[in-house]
Amino acid sequence: MRELNRQRILVTGGAGFLGSHLCERLLARGQDVLCADNFFTGTKDNLLGLLGNPHFELLRHDITFPLFVEVDQIYNLACPASPIHYQFDPVQTTKTSVHGAINMLGLAKRVRAKILQASTSEVYGDPEQHPQREDYWGHVNPIGLRSCYDEGKRCAETLFFDYRRQHNLCVKVARIFNTYGPRMHPNDGRVVSNFILQALKNEPITLYGDGSQTRSFCYVDDLIEAFLALMETPDDFTGPVNLGNPGEFTICELAEKILDLTGSRSTLIHLPLPSDDPKQRRPDISLANQAFGWQPQTPLEIGLDKTIAYFDNLLRGRPAGTTP
């Protein structure tokens, strides 16, 4: 019976931070998982714990090219996510979002698979509404340095909804807010990984401005639960739906928690605030809560503790593939 119920699930970007956790979770639920990744920011190290599993397959593939496989569900996560990575080759970033979406939607249409898109809070751009609800259309610069990512993801959303209208595909669009946890890329320039690495190396912790700006941080396990619950919603629930943790912390509070949890001797230093640094970023997750009863469960200290253990292992040269 277990074999009969086993779904074949494609995860694009499955060797990355979120993708590797998703593959792990799907396998633990008894599914067959095919991971397709071009290893631009993801690594095989992230999948070390899965490579021997007979229900897991890893395929080196760039989703800007078509893919012909037989699957029941697709999670489309492939795309570099941090500004350092997506600005490295901005044309390829737009191609990954747009051609990648067309290829994965084409595959979903051919095999009649359900397909979930990993979209982003960046579709709201530099928002004029706080917190952002899903019916806000955003305020996005179409020609700036971040546009390859923001506009690429917006166009991907358009494609998802056009495939829904034109071809009656079952689509799900998740707008992900800042997520952290083990297997984040160490050099992605994000505040959580930066602070943890600085603290573990006893280097000064660099705060921009006075550190009173607030951010919210969703632990990866909570986000993966939301992906699975969203995929299981009735076919007429498409989203877009915000996924993130609405708990708000100042950057100073985050730094102090990390100092405390690592027992670091680092000091805090203040650097000038970048001109486009938002004062506040917080998701409104009422739709996710109403539609599939989701809300994050992991307190910041617990999530940070696991993330610190991961980076500590990494600095000591231990393998990355298993969650500490």
Ligand X SMILES: NC(=O)c1ccc[n+]([C@@H]2O[C@H](COP(=O)([O-])OP(=O)(O)OC[C@H]3O[C@@H](n4cnc5c(N)ncnc54)[C@H](O)[C@@H]3O)[C@@H](O)[C@H]2O)c1
Site stretch for ligand X (CB under 6 A), options 34-42, 106-114, 123-131, 292-300: 34-42
Long-range Cβ contact pairs of 189-196 (< 8 A, separation 24 or more)? 189/82, 189/83, 189/84, 190/82, 191/215, 191/251, 191/254, 192/217, 192/254, 192/304, 192/307, 193/307, 193/311, 195/254, 195/255, 195/258, 196/258, 196/262, 196/304, 196/307, 196/308, 196/311
Active site residue 219: no
Binding ligand X (rule: CB under 6 A), the pick from 103, 120, 132, 266 is: 120
Residue numbers 63-82 binding ligand X by CB under 6 A: 63-64, 77-81
Whether the CB-CB separation of 43 and 183 falls below 8 Å is answered with: no
- Distance of closest approach, residue 70 Cβ to ligand X, in angstroms: 19
Is 13 a binding residue for ligand X by CB under 6 A? The answer is yes
Residues 214-233 binding ligand X (CB under 6 A) are none
To the nearest whole angstrom, how small is the minimum distance from the Cβ of residue 299 to ligand X?
Answer: 18
CB of 35 to ligand X, least distance (A): 9
Pick from 31, 41, 94, 307 the residue near ligand X by CB under 6 A: 41
When asked if residue 40 is in the footprint of ligand X (CB under 6 A), the reply is yes
Q: Give the start-end residues of each E strand in 63-187.
A: 73-76, 114-120, 171-176, 179-180
Strand-strand pairing, 249-250 and 214-215: antiparallel
Minimum distance of ligand X from residue 102's CB (angstroms): 12
Handedness of CA 115, 118, 124, 129 (dihedral sign): positive
Query: Catalytic one among 86, 124, 149, 180?
Result: 149
Is 296 a binding residue for ligand X by CB under 6 A? The answer is no
Residue 18 phi/psi, 5° resolution?
A: -70, -40
Nearer Cβ to ligand X (38/147): 38
Nearest distance in Å: CB 282, ligand X = 14
Integer Cα distance of 42 and 20 in angstroms = 9
Strand, coil or helix: 8: strand
Characterise 273 by phi-psi region: left (phi > 0), alpha (psi -120 to 50), beta (else): beta
Q: Which of 17, 75, 219, 311 binds ligand X (CB under 6 A)?
A: 17
Contacts of 131 (CB under 8 A, 6+ apart): 246, 282, 283, 284
The one among 164, 172, 185, 282 contacting ligand X by CB under 6 A: 185
Q: Does 285 bind ligand X (CB under 6 A)?
A: no
Answer for which of 9, 10, 15, 116 binds ligand X (CB under 6 A) is 15
100 binds ligand X per the rule CB under 6 A: yes
Q: 78 near 38, Cβ under 8 Å?
A: yes
Contact present, 21 and 189 (Cβ < 8 Å) = no
Contacting residue, 47, 101, 118, 224, with ligand X by CB under 6 A: 118
Only one residue has tokens 């994000």, namely 190
Structure token pair of residue 27: 């396998």
Q: Looking at beta carbons only, is 31 or 41 nearer to ligand X?
A: 41
Nearer to ligand X, 75 or 292 (CB): 75
Note the residues at the interface with ligand X (CB under 6 A): 12-13, 15-19, 37-42, 62-64, 77-81, 85, 96, 100, 118, 120, 176, 178-179, 185
Active site residues per annotation: 149
